[in-house]
Structure 1
Amino acid sequence: MKKVLIGILLAALLLTIPTAVQRVQIEESNKTIETIVPYQSAIGWMIEDPNLTVDEILKDFKETGIQSVSLEPDTVSSLERKRLITTVSASRMHENILLTQKEPLEAPFDKPGLFIHSTGLFDFEKVTKGLFEEQFEFSLDGTDYLFVPGDSAAIQSTPIAYDREVIAAVLDSGLSIVPRLRAYSDEKQLDQMINELIAIKQPGVEKVLFIGDKVPAFSDPVRLKEFGEQLKTAGYTLLSIEFALQDGLNQLAYMTDLNLVRLHSLGVTDENMSESSDKIVRAAKERNFRAFFLNMSQKEYEQALPALTELQKQVDNTLPASFKRGVAKTFEPYSVPLWQTALALLGAVAFLTLAAQSVFKNKKLTYIAFFGSLLFAVLYLVVQQSILLKTFALAVAITAPIWAVLVKKEPQKKAYLLKSFAQAVGIAAIGIWLIVILLSGNQYILGIDLFRGVSLVYIVPIAFILIYAVWGNIKNLLTMNVVYWHIAVGVFVAGIAFYYYTRTGNAGQVSNFELQARLLLEQILYVRPRTKEFLIGFPLFILALHVAKSYPKAYYFLLIPGVIGFLSMVNTFTHLHIPLLISLLRSGYSIVLGFLIGLVLIWLYEKVWKKVVTIIKMRWQT
């Protein structure tokens, strides 16, 4: 049975090569990045300096390497900021009338509301016709107003329209427009602004960026579907903001055939220029981000323009030559034929069965693993629900590092260390390959669909190896005498555990020293290897292999931190939005450096540790 399973596994690996190659080709063919600056920043700069013009700012944007300008719909408030209208609240109008001893206002002007006067540059009444439930003409001392009853704050925030003049100016300057839209609770406002969004679609207006944590119509499935169809028909590309979980965005993404670009939004200050540049380069290079939204914090244009210029210069100096500036596009459609998925499932069945056979050495458990995983694979092929595929991938991701460190050891053979390490890495690599094939497609590259169970991959293998190590040594552990070196080892392992805990996840703590070391490694190696792999897991696994020659039972305890390297390597590839070649390069560095550092640990163990333990024993005995 073992030979048959190995044959099935090898066949699955070879026949699924086209899927991995296709993913690499798609990722490597899309390396155009786009930077976006909000037009709201320009409004603020022009208010601070009335001599500034839109054309001047747009020309400077173009020269600094900006590709696009985001534009929000004008509101009553923003129109007033742009000096296109003036507003007077109902209470202030009443005060003015009393002070000038005019006749008190009568219905309908005696209600709370807002009096709006248009300048000669903007016809508010014409643009907003039908927008408000009620609006009345009013004149005072020769000045015409439009009175809108209601809450003043709500009226001020009412969306009106996208500024067509600004759109024309931006497009004429050679830049693109990225309209922004929020989820309006008022259905009338929502419909109007969606119609506005569709109406301004033209060459140069290609993407839409949503405001807030919800997309328009997110709570109404029927309206959301209609909105998705409108976006698809118009040809809009969606922008997905990192860490901004916008309700309804995933549904819209699927409705628009995954026509989506990943966007990273970051604040730009004079103090964080280098940090912002590093973030942009790293996000483009390592995480498939193709659009970057620059929130300029400088209030005056004299400070903002040099900051923007310097940021763009730093990015260009460190961005790999394979990348270029331009209008970002989504990745080419990429999906896996069902027969390729079926092969990967068959390979995963063989992988899980062989792992159970190798680790447990129990026929009953081996058969349970085989028939259980086979039944699960058939179930997926029948119902084709992605949750089943993800569960299968999770099982492989948890199993791979466990099997890798528990692979059969033969210390008496030549090149034992190298062969055992290569065998363990090979097992982990096979598990990684199966995961990559099982979870393939644009939805994973774009981060719309994610691998679930990262925490389990971090925890279960360590817990399993801990139980495995203790299980066969429980009696000895309970009866043994504790000596100083035991305490030293305990403190050392506890330190590793604490470091591992603080470094796990997106919120992990990183010291300034480690940040600097990371930057240095990136500059030298293009992409840095993971610390948990090349400094902790792999070196300690190499040391464990060496210790196994003399202490065949005790070495299992070194496998507990040693498994960290393999689970971290597997976890690297479960971040499916990271380019596959980047993950391969990063893991390659970790494997080589981890092996070399492991050899250094062996030297320290032989030349230093043994002598120190001998000295302590002699002094303790005397």
Structure 2
Amino acid sequence: MKKVLIGILLAALLLTIPSAFQRIQIEESNKKFETIVPFKLTTNWLIEDPSLTLDGILSDFKNADIQSVSLEPDTVSSLERKGLITAVSTSRMREHLLLTQQDPLEAPFDKPGLFIHSNGSFDFEETTAGFFEEKFTFTVNGEAYTYIPGAAEKILSVPVGYDPEVIASIKEAGLMVVPRLGDYSDEAQTERMIDELLSIKEPGIEKILFSGTDVPAASDPERLKEFGEQLKDAGYGLMSIEFAGQKGLNQLAYINDLNLVRLHSLAVEDGNIAESADKIVRAAKERNMRAFFLNLTQPEYNLALTALQELQSDVNGNMPDSFVRGESRSFDTYSVPLWQTAMALLGAIAFLTLAAQYVFKNNRLTLLALIGSALAAAIYLVTGQSIVLKAFALAVAVTAPIWAVLLKKEPEKKWYLIRSYAQALGIAAIGIWLIIVLLNGNQYLLGIDLFRGVSLIYIIPIAFIAIYAVWGNIRKLLKMNVIYWHMAVIAIVAGIILYYMSRTGNAGQVSAIELQVRLMLEQILYVRPRTKEFLIGFPLFILALHMVKSYPKAYYFLLIPGVIGFLSLVNTFTHLHIPLLISLLRSGYSIVFGFIIGLVLIWLYETVWKKMITMIRMRWQA
């Protein structure tokens, strides 16, 4: 049975090579990135500095290597800021009439609301036809006003559409337009803005960026599906803001055939130019980000432009030559054929069964692993539910580090250290390969569908190895009297665990010194190896291998931190939005550097630690 399972596993690895190769091709064929700035500050700049012109500002954006300008729908408030209308509240109008000794307001004009006067050639009445339930004409001193009853703030926030003159100016400057759209509380407003969005679609307006926490119609599944079809038919691509988690966006992405670009939003300020540039470069090469939204926070135009130019210059200087600026696009559509997924499932079944056999050495548990994984595979082939694939990937991800460090050790054989290290890495690599093939496709590449269970990968292997190390003495430990130094050890271990968990995930805390070291490593190596791997896990595993013959108990306890290297290695490849070649390069550095540092630990143990122990014993004996 063992030979059969090994044969199935090897066949699965060989036959699924095209799947991984296809992913690399897709990732490497898309190296164009786009920078976007918001238009909304432009109005304030033009008001504060009359010498500025819209064409001049857009020309400066173009010269600063900006590709696109995001544009939000005008509101009644923004029309007033632009000087196209004058909005007067009921209270102010009442005061004006009183001061000019005119007749006071009467019904229906005496209720709270806004009196709006169109300036110049702008026609507010025509622009907002059908937008408000009630509108009345009011004349003061020969000037016509449109009176809208209601709360002033609510009226001012009503969207009226995208400015066609601004769109034309942006395109004439050689820039693209990225319209923004939110989910408005008033359903009628949302429907009007959807119609407006569809009406402005033309070359140069290719992608939409949503505002707020929900996409339009997110709470109405039927309307959301219809909206997705409308966007698809119009030819709009979508943009997803990293970490925003906008409700309804994933559904729109699937309806739109995953025509989506991942976007990273960051502030551009005087004090963070270098840091922001590093984030852009890292996100492009390490996280498949292809669009960057630059929030210009400076109120003065000259300061904002200077900061923007400095940022773009730093990005150009640090971005790898394989990346070029231009219109970002989604990754080419690809999917894994069912037969390759089936082969990966067979490989996963064999992998989990062999792992159970090697680790537990129990026929019942081995048979349970075989039957359970086979049933799960059958369920997927019948139902096609991706959650089954994710469960398989999680099981492999948790199992691979455990099996890797618990492989049988034969210290008496030649090249034992290198052979054992290579075997452990081989087990981890097989698990990684199966995960890559099981969870492969645009939905994972774009972060629409994610691997779940990262925390379990960081916890279960360590807990399992810890229990494995003390299993033979567990009864003795449970009956042992707890004394003060035991409490101190427990406190230290708890502190290490808390620190370890604080370093895990996107919110992990990192010191300023380590940030500098990380940056230096990235500049030298293109991508930095993971600290958990090359400084902690792999070196301590090498030291454990060295000590297995002389101190078998210490060996098992060293495997507890040693397994961190392998679980982190596997976890690197569960971040499916990270380019595969980047993960391979990062892991290669970790493996090599970890081995070298492990050899240094062995040397320190043999030349320093043993001498210190000898000296201490001699002193105590004297």
Kindly state the Cα deviation for residue 99 of structure 1 after the two structures are TM-superposed: 2.1
Distance in 2 between the 1:217 and 1:108 partners? 34
- 1:132-182 Cα deviation digits (max 9, x unpaired): 111111110121111111111100000001000000000111100000001
The match for 1:515 is 515
Contact 1:62 1:173 in 2 (8 A): yes
The match for 1:380 is 380
Kindly state the Cα deviation for residue 492 of structure 1 after the two structures are TM-superposed: 7.8
Kindly state the Cα deviation for residue 605 of structure 1 after the two structures are TM-superposed: 0.9
SS at match of 1:148: strand
SS at match of 1:515: helix
The aligned runs of 1:11-26 (5 Å cut-off) are: 11-26=11-26
Distance in 1 between the 2:206 and 2:482 partners? 69
Kindly state the Cα deviation for residue 393 of structure 1 after the two structures are TM-superposed: 0.6
1:517 to 1:538, Cα distance in 2 relative to 1, 3 A: same
The one-letter code matched in structure 2 to 1:145 is Y
Matched, 1:197 2:197: yes
Kindly state the Cα deviation for residue 475 of structure 1 after the two structures are TM-superposed: 5.9
1:158 to 1:479, Cα distance in 2 relative to 1, 3 A: closer
The aligned runs of 1:570-609 (5 Å cut-off) are: 570-609=570-609
Kindly state the Cα deviation for residue 485 of structure 1 after the two structures are TM-superposed: 12
Distance in 2 between the 1:361 and 1:387 partners? 30
Kindly state the Cα deviation for residue 123 of structure 1 after the two structures are TM-superposed: 1.0
The aligned runs of 1:100-249 (5 Å cut-off) are: 100-249=100-249
Distance in 2 between the 1:453 and 1:309 partners? 41
Deviates more, 1:135-144 or 1:558-567: 135-144
Distance in 2 between the 1:487 and 1:188 partners? 65
The match for 1:292 is 292
Distance in 2 between the 1:460 and 1:25 partners? 34
- 1:566-619 Cα deviation digits (max 9, x unpaired): 000111100000000000000000000000000001111111111222222333
Contact 1:485 1:613 in 2 (8 A): no
Contact 1:473 1:553 in 2 (8 A): no
- 1:206-248 Cα deviation digits (max 9, x unpaired): 0101111110010011111111011000011111001101011
Distance in 2 between the 1:154 and 1:620 partners? 83
The one-letter code matched in structure 1 to 2:133 is E
Distance in 1 between the 2:521 and 2:494 partners? 27
Distance in 2 between the 1:475 and 1:109 partners? 86
The match for 1:534 is 534
- 1:396-450 Cα deviation digits (max 9, x unpaired): 0000000000011001111111100100000000000000000000000000000
SS at match of 1:266: strand
Distance in 1 between the 2:480 and 2:125 partners? 89
Contact 1:536 1:564 in 2 (8 A): yes
The aligned runs of 1:98-497 (5 Å cut-off) are: 98-474=98-474, 496-497=496-497
Contact 1:184 1:190 in 2 (8 A): yes
The match for 2:86 is 86
Deviates more, 1:483-492 or 1:525-534: 483-492
The one-letter code matched in structure 2 to 1:53 is T
The match for 1:548 is 548
Kindly state the Cα deviation for residue 543 of structure 1 after the two structures are TM-superposed: 0.6
1:92 to 1:135, Cα distance in 2 relative to 1, 3 A: same
Distance in 2 between the 1:479 and 1:236 partners? 68
1:386 to 1:478, Cα distance in 2 relative to 1, 3 A: closer
SS at match of 1:37: strand
- 1:445-474 Cα deviation digits (max 9, x unpaired): 000000000010110000000000010233
Kindly state the Cα deviation for residue 621 of structure 1 after the two structures are TM-superposed: 4.0
Kindly state the Cα deviation for residue 306 of structure 1 after the two structures are TM-superposed: 1.3
Deviates more, 1:477-486 or 1:464-473: 477-486
| Number of equivalent positions | 622
1:186 to 1:491, Cα distance in 2 relative to 1, 3 A: closer
1:223 to 1:172, Cα distance in 2 relative to 1, 3 A: same
Contact 1:181 1:211 in 2 (8 A): yes
Kindly state the Cα deviation for residue 484 of structure 1 after the two structures are TM-superposed: 13
1:495 to 1:133, Cα distance in 2 relative to 1, 3 A: closer
1:491 to 1:533, Cα distance in 2 relative to 1, 3 A: farther
Deviates more, 1:94-103 or 1:560-569: 94-103
SS at match of 2:36: strand
The one-letter code matched in structure 2 to 1:44 is N
The one-letter code matched in structure 1 to 2:535 is L
The one-letter code matched in structure 1 to 2:129 is K
Distance in 2 between the 1:484 and 1:612 partners? 26
Distance in 1 between the 2:498 and 2:366 partners? 35
Distance in 1 between the 2:466 and 2:601 partners? 22
TM-score (norm 1): 0.97
1:251 to 1:482, Cα distance in 2 relative to 1, 3 A: closer
Distance in 1 between the 2:415 and 2:606 partners? 18
Distance in 2 between the 1:252 and 1:240 partners? 11
TM-score (norm 2): 0.97
- 1:100-138 Cα deviation digits (max 9, x unpaired): 221122222122110001111421111111111111111
Distance in 2 between the 1:475 and 1:198 partners? 71
SS at match of 1:473: helix
Distance in 2 between the 1:515 and 1:445 partners? 27
Distance in 1 between the 2:116 and 2:478 partners? 84
Deviates more, 1:470-479 or 1:501-510: 470-479
1:481 to 1:614, Cα distance in 2 relative to 1, 3 A: farther
Kindly state the Cα deviation for residue 477 of structure 1 after the two structures are TM-superposed: 5.7
- 1:349-402 Cα deviation digits (max 9, x unpaired): 000000000000111111100111011101110001011110111000000000
Distance in 2 between the 1:314 and 1:143 partners? 54
Distance in 2 between the 1:396 and 1:513 partners? 35
Stretches of structure 2 that go unaligned for 5 or more consecutive residues are none
The one-letter code matched in structure 2 to 1:573 is F
Distance in 2 between the 1:104 and 1:484 partners? 86
The match for 1:53 is 53
SS at match of 1:271: helix
The match for 1:502 is 502
SS at match of 1:411: coil
The one-letter code matched in structure 2 to 1:613 is I
SS at match of 2:139: strand
Distance in 2 between the 1:311 and 1:33 partners? 15
